[in-house]
Homo-oligomer: A and B are copies of this chain.
């Protein structure tokens, strides 16, 4: 798992005193990656771009990646359900993406965009449904309208 989550094995061996600590580090790294992808998107700084289309595109890119990695990142995120130590990090993930989105919309809408993206990803990952980028764009657009 250390290798898949890009946590240097050295760190794993030397610095983590518990499984919770290791999971916290891995979840933080995964969350920062996605938030960075959202934050670096030009659509966020340019008010002339279609934000819903850009978010739908980013989701497609993420879901279209190597599926084992995507499943692991979601599994880390969802582990917060049973591991309270992970909850602040899961909250950071949500907050970081919402903050990146707040340049284009209000905080409540930003949080709802994150919730809908989570729900759409879940439907794809949990039910083996194909990702429908046009559907995602349409529904994210309604939240922004």
Contacts and interface: CB of A to CB of B under 8 A. Distances in A.
Nearest to A111: B123
Contact of A91 (B84, B128, B138): B128
Given A82-B75, A126-B80, A127-B87, A112 B108 contact: no
Interface string A86-122: 1110110010000000000000110110111111101
Given A115-B120, A116-B116, A119-B117, A126 B82 contact: no
Nearest to A87: B128
A128 B126 CA distance: 23
Interface of A: 71, 74-75, 77-78, 80-82, 84, 86-88, 90-91, 94, 108-109, 111-112, 114-120, 122-123, 125-129, 135, 138-139, 142-143, 145
Contact of A119 (B108, B116, B127, B128): B116
From A77, A82, A114, A116, residue with most partner B Cβ within 10 Å: A116
A56 to B, nearest CB: 12
A59 to B, nearest CB: 11
A48 to B, nearest CB: 22
Contacts of A143: 139, 142-143
Contacts of A126: 77-78, 80-81, 86-87, 90-91, 94
